[in-house]
């Protein structure tokens, strides 16, 4: 793996290649910081915390949607792509936030949701009013139903969140929605749809945005020629570029057009695809320099805390990056999955709802089965390993505090459509990782805002509050700050070489400048040889002569 050294990433990040080994911090704006005390996080809230982000040491932030939205899917139901939700601020607030972040050397990535709009988007309202066969309906996917009076949906397809994928409108036609009913899919064969998104990309690029995260980038184009397959038939069709719904080759024509827009800016705007596809080869298409340029690699996010799985997935993804010329991306947590400290602290299936026949049943309560300390210990070890890898790393707000998933949310308090439609995400939905951050151990909503918080914060949040952790050198926050600062100093070429450890549960690699990373996935300490360089950071207890169980250390290059 050392034979092809791709690109030296400059430490100052001041080049068009800044993104290649960047640490990108995901902000879920409605749960980050609430400046106006309405219980919803907002853009002025982010602005008030830019020094926190600078001190944390991130290279960029990615903002989940902050656009006008009825919040049928946490903002991924966008009613207007070129504005700010009035509850979150104004475009002027947005500009001020970008300026403040840029002044601190932090880039800004925004989320683009091109597969579907909100049902409240002007286009969809127009489509409803205009009726069958209209140009307005052609921007979406409308069909006649089946059965004698058309009262049956066009197909038996299921939506990603559970339930049927077609919804009937007043005049009897049906529209297609991959996700919630409030998220009608756009018709990407329609030139007006294509043109409008180019305008949206220019709109945000002109406002100084540095890059884009593309929501479900593998779903946009579709082939819905009759006869439509049944869901059983659909399942059997290989996802090799010609599937009617997923990962079609023709989606890359869209991204080739987008790339022209990105490259018309100096420096070129970047993009990262959220593309859940079958193979690294399929993913590579999204990461192509003629397309979006980078694609999320979610492999470790779905892996166990296990040395063999980590080693295999790291090797595969670095090899893939060599082929595409892009850099790989590492992710352990985001707004769609159970936080990794909790994943690593729960016995398999505990705290999730599982389907037994047609019923969802609880497989155990996380609060009583969660090994809080063990989960966090393993999470810190995995994070420090990740931050030592070549490529860019995406962090999710709150993981730097060591936050666990919040389980104590009643059905009435939940917001995620996936919970109500009983579909994906273990049936529990994704609210548990979207609870507003604790900034202070005391005070209203733990310093999130002056009033309440839109999802309930548990009492144990006090222990994880920013102010409590900032002054504690052993806290997870102090650990993240040291790791990110050191990463800047140690950053080097985009390769690694595995070193033999003689143990299946210990991984060790060295970067081109001699920076070593050792992760002990097991419980027995791993002895370091006497001539190993100095341990400069440990994810757990101090380590000198040996690496304790479930711990990662970084060893500085010897001069
Ligand atoms: C992506 C987002 C998720 C959203 C879905 C529909 O997977 O990450 O939060 O629900 O797309 O937009």
- Residue 4: other Cβ atoms inside 10 A: 10
Nearest to 61 by CA among 122, 4, 108: 108
pLDDT surpassing 60 at residue 471: yes
* CATH class of the region 122-176: alpha beta
- The single residue of 85, 93, 247, 274 carrying the catalytic annotation is 274
- The single residue of 73, 77, 215, 320 carrying the catalytic annotation is 215
pLDDT surpassing 60 at residue 131: yes
| Top-confidence residue, 301 or 12 | 301
Q: Which fold has domain 496-555?
A: Immunoglobulin-like (2.60.40)
What is d(CA 386, CA 552) in angstroms, rounded to the nearest whole number? 10
The first and second tokens of residue 268, run together, are 């070129």
Residues with CB under 6 A from ligand 1: 73, 76, 113, 179, 215-216, 274, 335-336
Distance from Cα 224 to the centre of ligand 1, integer Å:
22
pLDDT band at 11 (very low <50, low <70, confident <90, very high): very low
Query: Is residue 443 a contact partner of residue 466, using CB atoms and an 8 Å limit?
Result: no
The first and second tokens of residue 300, run together, are 């470790």
Span 451-472, average pLDDT: 96
Distance from Cα 533 to the centre of ligand 1, integer Å:
44
> Which residue, chain included where needed, has tokens 């090899």?
319
Q: What is the pLDDT of residue 302?
A: 85
Q: Which of 310-319, 365-374, 383-392, 528-537 has the lowest mean pLDDT?
A: 365-374
Q: What is the pLDDT of residue 542?
A: 82
Strand positions, DSSP E, 246-307: 270-273
What is d(CA 174, CA 278) in angstroms, rounded to the nearest whole number? 30
| Top-confidence residue, 46 or 408 | 46
What is d(CA 438, CA 419) in angstroms, rounded to the nearest whole number? 24
Q: What is the pLDDT of residue 220?
A: 98
Give the torsion sign (CA, 211, 216, 218, 223): negative
Distance from Cα 470 to the centre of ligand 1, integer Å:
32
Helices of type H across 237-276? 251-263
Q: What is the pLDDT of residue 12?
A: 43
Cβ-based neighbours of 347, under 8 Å, separated by 6 or more: 364, 369
Q: For strand 211-214 and strand 506-510, is the pairing parallel, antiparallel, or unpaired?
A: unpaired
pLDDT band at 446 (very low <50, low <70, confident <90, very high): very high
∠305-308-312 over CA atoms, to 5°? Answer: 110
Mutate to test the pocket of ligand 1, among 215, 298, 425, 432 (most ligand atoms within 8 A of CB): 215
What is d(CA 403, CA 191) in angstroms, rounded to the nearest whole number? 44
What is d(CA 439, CA 381) in angstroms, rounded to the nearest whole number? 24
What is d(CA 207, CA 493) in angstroms, rounded to the nearest whole number? 32
What is d(CA 12, CA 115) in angstroms, rounded to the nearest whole number? 36
pLDDT surpassing 90 at residue 14: no
Q: What is the pLDDT of residue 2?
A: 37
pLDDT surpassing 70 at residue 422: no
User: Which residue owns the Cα nearest ligand 1 atom 3?
Assistant: 336
State pLDDT tens for residues 64-73: 999 999 999 9
Nearest to 451 by CA among 124, 21, 45, 15: 45
CATH architecture group of domain 11-114+192-482: Alpha-Beta Barrel (3.20)
Q: What is the number of alpha carbons within 13 Å of residue 522 lying toward its C-beta?
A: 14
Q: Which residues pair with 175 in a beta bridge?
A: 142, 167
Mutate to test the pocket of ligand 1, among 28, 76, 186 (most ligand atoms within 8 A of CB): 76
| Residue 335 Cα: closest atom of ligand 1 | 9
CA distances from 85 to 29, 36, 42, 67, 95 (A): 11, 13, 9, 5, 14
Q: What is the pLDDT of residue 279?
A: 86
Residue ranges, CATH 3.90.400.10, the chain: 122-176
User: Which residue owns the Cα nearest ligand 1 atom 2?
Assistant: 215
| Top-confidence residue, 350 or 209 | 209
Average pLDDT of the chain to the nearest whole number: 92
Query: Is residue 95 a contact partner of residue 46, using CB atoms and an 8 Å limit?
Result: no
CA distances from 238 to 241, 248, 324 (A): 8, 11, 23
The first and second tokens of residue 280, run together, are 């690294």
Q: What is the pLDDT of residue 1?
A: 36
What is d(CA 2, CA 556) in angstroms, rounded to the nearest whole number? 19
State pLDDT tens for residues 241-283: 999 999 999 999 999 999 999 999 999 999 999 999 988 889 9
Residue ranges, CATH 2.60.40, the chain: 496-555
What is d(CA 419, CA 435) in angstroms, rounded to the nearest whole number? 15
Is 215 assigned a catalytic role? yes
Span 79-83, average pLDDT: 98
The helix/strand/coil state of 325 is coil
The first and second tokens of residue 80, run together, are 């207007």
Share of the chain above pLDDT 70, in %: 92
User: Could you tell me the pTM of the whole model?
Assistant: 0.94
pLDDT surpassing 90 at residue 46: yes
Residue ranges, CATH 3.20.20.80, the chain: 11-114+192-482
């Amino acid at each position: 793996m050392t034979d092809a050294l791709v690109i030296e990433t400059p430490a100052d990040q001041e080049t068009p290649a800044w993104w290649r080994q960047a640490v990108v911090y995901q902000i879920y704006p409605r749960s980050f910081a609430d400046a106006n005390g309405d219980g919803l996080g907002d853009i002025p809230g982010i602005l008030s915390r830019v020094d926190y982000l600078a001190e944390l040491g991130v290279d960029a932030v990615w903002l989940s949607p902050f656009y006008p939205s009825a919040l049928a899917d946490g903002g991924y139901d966008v009613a207007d792509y070129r504005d700010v939700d009035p509850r979150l601020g104004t475009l002027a607030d947005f500009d001020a936030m970008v300026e403040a972040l840029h002044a601190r050397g932090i880039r800004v990535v925004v989320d683009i949701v091109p597969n579907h709009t909100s049902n409240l988007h002007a286009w969809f309202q127009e489509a409803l009013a205009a009726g069958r066969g209209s140009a307005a309906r052609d921007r979406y996917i409308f069909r006649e139903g089946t059965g004698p009076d058309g009262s049956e949906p066009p197909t038996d397809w299921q939506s990603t969140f559970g339930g049927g994928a077609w919804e009937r409108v007043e005049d009897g036609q049906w529209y297609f929605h991959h996700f919630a009913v409030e998220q009608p899919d756009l018709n990407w064969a329609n030139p007006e749809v294509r043109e409008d998104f180019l305008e949206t990309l220019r709109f945000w690029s002109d406002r100084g945005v540095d890059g884009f995260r593309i929501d479900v980038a593998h779903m946009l184009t579709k082939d819905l020629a009759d006869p439509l397959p049944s869901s059983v038939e659909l399942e059997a069709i290989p996802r090799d570029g010609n599937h009617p719904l997923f990962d079609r080759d023709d989606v890359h024509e869209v991204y080739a057009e987008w790339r022209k827009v990105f490259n018309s800016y100096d420096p070129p705007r970047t993009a990262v695809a959220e593309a859940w596809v079958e193979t690294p080869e399929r993913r590579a298409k999204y990461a192509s320099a003629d397309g979006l340029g980078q694609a999320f690699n979610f492999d470790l996010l779905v892996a166990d805390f296990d040395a063999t799985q980590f080693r295999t997935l790291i090797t595969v993804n670095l090899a893939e990056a060599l082929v595409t010329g892009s850099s790989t991306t590492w992710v352990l947590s985001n707004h769609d999955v159970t936080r990794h400290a909790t994943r690593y602290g729960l016995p398999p299936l505990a705290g999730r709802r599982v389907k037994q026949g047609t019923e969802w049943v609880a497989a155990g309560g996380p609060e009583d089965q969660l090994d809080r300390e063990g989960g966090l210990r393993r999470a810190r070890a995995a994070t420090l390993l990740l931050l030592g890898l070549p490529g860019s790393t995406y962090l999710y707000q709150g993981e730097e505090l060591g936050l666990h998933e919040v389980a104590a949310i009643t059905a009435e308090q939940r917001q995620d459509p996936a919970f109500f439609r009983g579909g994906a995400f273990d049936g529990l939905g994704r609210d548990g990782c979207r609870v507003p951050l604790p900034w202070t151990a005391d005070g209203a909503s733990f310093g999130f805002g002056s009033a309440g918080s839109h999802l309930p914060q548990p009492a144990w949040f006090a222990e994880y509050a920013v102010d409590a952790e900032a002054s504690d050198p052993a806290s997870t926050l102090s650990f993240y700050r040291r790791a990110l600062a050191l990463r800047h100093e140690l950053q080097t070429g985009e390769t690694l070489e595995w070193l033999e450890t003689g143990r299946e549960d210990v991984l060790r690699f060295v970067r081109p400048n001699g920076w070593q990373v050792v992760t002990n996935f097991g419980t027995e300490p791993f002895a370091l040889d006497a001539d190993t360089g100095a341990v400069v950071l440990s994810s757990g207890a101090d380590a000198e002569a040996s690496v304790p169980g479930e711990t990662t250390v970084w060893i500085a290059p010897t001069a």
